Chain A
Amino acid sequence: DAKTTQPTSMDCAEGRAANLPCNHSTISGNEYVYWYRQIHSQGPQYIIHGLKNNETNEMASLIITEDRKSSTLILPHATLRDTAVYYCIADSGGSNYKLTFGKGTLLTVNP
């Protein structure tokens, strides 16, 4: 699995967009970029994933650079409930793939 690098922490004002960067410069062609988040003392929650194209769902948008060496998770209108640790993971996916969690980014949404 490719190694990912994320900032340790970020702050965002409530109602504003939160842009969380992730560097995965060694990602291989068949590896997806996955984003999960973990609210304190809860199990992680899947957010979104992508391979090459930008993706959007009801929770967030994922912007992947053309060279695929980095990506940005965008929460368009952050709320206090979005305060969590966000994990960016690069993996080839497939059935029963193993998630390797790094340290992630602690996003704090401030009122």
Chain B
Amino acid sequence: GAVVSQHPSWVICKSGTSVKIECRSLDFQATTMFWYRQFPKQSLMLMATSNEGSKATYEQGVEKDKFLINHASLTLSTLTVTSAHPEDSSFYICSVQLAGGHEQYFGPGTRLTVT
């Protein structure tokens, strides 16, 4: 399977600042990566699909100007939370899917706390 890393694993930032989260596919070239968000005691919610070399596709209700996604290479996608607010505090998780396969492989997640 694919090995996916995320950086940082946790981050605390002040309200109004921006935070960048990296998702790396370490042993696999991923043309598509997915970004999820998980609030405490809730299930994962898909935020967007990140496509290498093109614009991301956002799910309904997710602000594309607030959650900037860049997928500039086949091994790296970044999620930038702009002008963060306390309600953006959450667990952010990325995943990749092997071409032709059914499995999605997830990163370890990034816990964001906005104070």
- List A residues at the B interface (Cβ < 8 Å): 32, 34, 36, 38, 41-46, 49, 87, 93, 95-104
Contacts and interface: CB of A to CB of B under 8 A. Distances in A.
A45 B49 contact: no
Contacts of A44: 44, 93, 95, 104, 106
A36 B108 CA distance: 14
Contacts, number: 54
Interface of B: 1, 4, 6, 32, 34, 43-46, 49, 91, 93, 95, 97, 99-100, 102-109, 111
Give the interface SS of chain A, mostly helix, strand, loop or mixed: loop
Given A42-B109, A43-B109, A95 B99 contact: yes
A105 to B, nearest CB: 12
Contact of A95 (B4, B100, B107): B100
Contacts of A101: 43-45
10 contacts: A32-B102, A41-B91, A41-B111, A43-B6, A43-B93, A44-B106, A45-B106, A96-B97, A98-B46, A104-B43
Given A46-B1, A46-B104, A98 B91 contact: no
A43 B46 contact: no
A98 B103 contact: no
A87 B104 CA distance: 13
Given A43-B4, A43-B6, A46-B105, 16 more contacts: A34-B102, A41-B91, A43-B108, A44-B95, A44-B104, A46-B1, A87-B43, A93-B102, A95-B32, A95-B97, A96-B32, A97-B97, A99-B34, A99-B46, A101-B44, A103-B43
Contacts of A103: 43
A32 B46 CA distance: 19
Most chain-A CB neighbours within 10 Å: which of B43, B97, B102, B108? B102
Contacts of A42: 108-109
A28 to B, nearest CB: 16
A96 B95 CA distance: 11
